[in-house]
Structure 1
Amino acid sequence: MGNIRTDLALEARELYQQQNRGHIPGVKVDEEEVEGVKISRVHIISPLGEESLGKPQGNYITLEAPDIKNRDPEFQETLSKLLAQEIGKLVSLNKKSVTLVVGLGNWNITPDSLGPKVVDRLLVTRHILEYMPDQVDDRLRPVCAVAPGVLGITGIETGEIIKGIVEKIRPDLVIAIDALASRRTDRIGVTIQIADTGISPGSGIGNKRMGLNKETLGVPTIAIGVPTVVYAYTIGRDSLQMLIDQFADQTSPGSQFYQMLKQMDEAQLDALVHQVVTQELGDLVVTPKEIDLLIGYVADVLADGLNLALHENMTIEDIKHFIN
């Protein structure tokens, strides 16, 4: 399944285990479930683990919350608090630490608008702390945010824009928010990944640009993403594999048809799917019809989680008071 694409380290691990059926060298994993949210932590600790999963060395935390689809306000608050706790495990901020939040994506395309929508809901304070420090709640830390758009709108590489801003304001931390691609439809809009390895804008649709990470920006960079699309190729590939497995189970092991099914290799399966879903159309991505509702809800979850993590001793009620 080498052609199946995913931005989630959790899914890269699942794919590796499907193919190799064993321990992944250079990778440590721990899992727990808290208040209906499954939290998986994938730690890639060596070059061998990096090569195995195709992800940079670092920590990848995934929150799987299927109840997001119910859009319950109480669950939203619970998830935001869990998100804030997990972010807090990856960053260390003091009273004067400046954080730059970058909302990646195209606000004109719903599945790609997560980043700008999160930025629109953030409690930004750097300007207030700079110009009116005596009139500001002492629990607030300096936070600034930007939604730079995409190359097709600005004509400028997103990485170049962010690097210029970082060089000017010199933040202590950069947090990039972006839409991702999953290999499973049931993870769209209900899974949150936090990584301390940064991100490549456009990676969710296979259009990688200049990376945003500590190496390129010079400051620690956290990436937070939610899958909003899945490749049509992946759906076709999984459907074909399921069909083959069912036919094989119902066919006599000694029959010629059974032997033919079992002898189909990865290249043959890939070729069949490509004839159906990618011929003359390039890569197709699929998103659910209710993606606008999912994006709005998840943007609130991410924004509240970030607001709780980036400021001191805040509650959801405090955040709403300041924003409204």
Structure 2
Amino acid sequence: MFSVRTDLAVEAKEFYEEKNKGKLSGVEVKETNDGDIKITSVKILNDVGERIMSKPVGTYVTIDVPKLTYYDGEAMDRLSAVLGKTLMKMIKFDDSMTALVVGLGNWNITPDSLGPKVISKLMITRHLKQLVPDKIDERIRPVCAIAPGVLGITGIETSEIIKGVVNKVKPNLIICIDALASRKLDRVNSTIQIGDTGISPGSGIGNRRMEISQKTLNVPVIALGVPTVVDAATMASDTIDMVLSSMIKQSKTGGQFYNMLKSVDRNEKFEMIREILEPYGANLMVTPKEVDMVMDSISKIVACGINIALQPRLDLEDINKFLN
């Protein structure tokens, strides 16, 4: 579905450091490290913060993925553990409650298949708690899942499918997983982003659908996504920014050429690039060539993190036994 996410936690920290010498009113920014994994958390506290950040009141977390994680099994397990701990802090969920995990996206398009791939690796238990309650471990919590597909495949709005399932199943918590369209080239496949204010499927490619949130479903919604694509205009803009930065470093400070480069407005430049590309397919989305391997790895990491968060009384070995 390629929901759009503005890398809010990271951008808020950058905004805080670059534009404000003191406290950012209505916004709380916190950065921590768990080993080599950086976690940036942003809490929008009130309507003042909403206006500054253009996002609703809530908590937004960005977990940086260390380089080469997707090639290292131990690193993947560490990242899953960090993701699990982060999710546990954001959800209010006990043994009597039911969680519904929704895998958004199109399983036929590799960079958009994150949601369905995660669903296939989850520990699904709701049916067992209902059908064989005496034989299932009492430590296990009821979890169900759905991969509703996309409008072009089903002919049904994703939000309509989810709402129907919610009305029938009556979960106490919803976790939505989706691939994101990044606003920065260097954040593609390099961050895991979590928010407790819901998600708007398809908005990353201009197909805004009804949002999936507590406001629309009357159930708390945690949105979890990974930027897997970037649009052509963003890629071109970031490339030009890198060229400008390199030229500025090599120019004489205070010189005419230096001042001209420094005066370039980055926002105006981006809009100009978008206008120029419009006749040539400005909606082109770009993803790295190793996307197949990355999607397999990141789906395992995300699924494992969700399993840890929803089944805190089980260790990873128990969860793996259940899945295998």
Question: TM-score normalized by structure 1?
Answer: 0.90
Of stretches 242-251 and 173-182 in structure 1, the one that deviates more from structure 2 is 242-251
CA shift, 1:155, in A, is 1.3
CA shift, 1:51, in A, is 2.2
- In structure 2, the CA distance between the partners of 1:318 and 1:248, relative to structure 1 (3 Å rule), is closer
Q: C-alpha separation between the residues in 1 aligned to 2:185 and 2:271?
A: 22
Q: Which residue of 2 aligns with 1:74?
A: 74
CA shift, 1:277, in A, is 3.7
Q: C-alpha separation between the residues in 2 aligned to 1:94 and 1:259?
A: 59
- In structure 2, the CA distance between the partners of 1:309 and 1:281, relative to structure 1 (3 Å rule), is same
Of stretches 304-313 and 32-41 in structure 1, the one that deviates more from structure 2 is 304-313
SS in 2 for 1:282: coil
Corresponding letter in the other structure for 2:294? L
Contact kept, 8 Å, 1:29 with 1:43, in 2: the verdict is yes
CA shift, 1:201, in A, is 0.8
Corresponding letter in the other structure for 2:168? K
* Cα distance per residue 1:91-140 (max 9 Å; x no partner): 12221210000000000101100000000111111111111111111111
Matched, 1:154 2:154: yes
Alignment of 1:210-229 (within 5 A): 210-229=210-229
Q: C-alpha separation between the residues in 2 aligned to 1:207 and 1:19?
A: 33
Q: Which residue of 1 aligns with 2:95?
A: 95
CA shift, 1:16, in A, is 3.7
Q: Which residue of 2 aligns with 1:35?
A: 35
Contact kept, 8 Å, 1:40 with 1:61, in 2: the verdict is yes
- In structure 2, the CA distance between the partners of 1:207 and 1:251, relative to structure 1 (3 Å rule), is farther
Corresponding letter in the other structure for 1:315? D
SS in 2 for 1:61: strand
Q: Which runs of 5+ in 1 are unaligned?
A: none
Q: Which residue of 2 aligns with 1:12?
A: 11
Alignment of 1:237-252 (within 5 A): 237-249=237-249, 250=251
- In structure 2, the CA distance between the partners of 1:144 and 1:271, relative to structure 1 (3 Å rule), is closer
Q: C-alpha separation between the residues in 1 aligned to 2:134 and 2:65?
A: 41
SS in 1 for 2:279: coil
- In structure 2, the CA distance between the partners of 1:267 and 1:288, relative to structure 1 (3 Å rule), is closer
Of stretches 7-16 and 296-305 in structure 1, the one that deviates more from structure 2 is 7-16
Contact kept, 8 Å, 1:6 with 1:12, in 2: the verdict is no
Q: Which residue of 1 aligns with 2:131?
A: 131
Of stretches 218-227 and 184-193 in structure 1, the one that deviates more from structure 2 is 184-193
CA shift, 1:260, in A, is 4.5
CA shift, 1:186, in A, is 3.0
* Cα distance per residue 1:76-98 (max 9 Å; x no partner): 22111111111111112221210
- In structure 2, the CA distance between the partners of 1:17 and 1:183, relative to structure 1 (3 Å rule), is farther
Q: C-alpha separation between the residues in 1 aligned to 2:168 and 2:196?
A: 23
Matched positions, count: 319
CA shift, 1:311, in A, is 1.6
Q: Which residue of 2 aligns with 1:304?
A: 304
Q: C-alpha separation between the residues in 2 aligned to 1:93 and 1:6?
A: 26
Q: Which runs of 5+ in 2 are unaligned?
A: none
Q: Which residue of 2 aligns with 1:290?
A: 290
Matched, 1:171 2:150: no
RMSD (CA atoms)? 2.2
Q: C-alpha separation between the residues in 2 aligned to 1:45 and 1:212?
A: 21
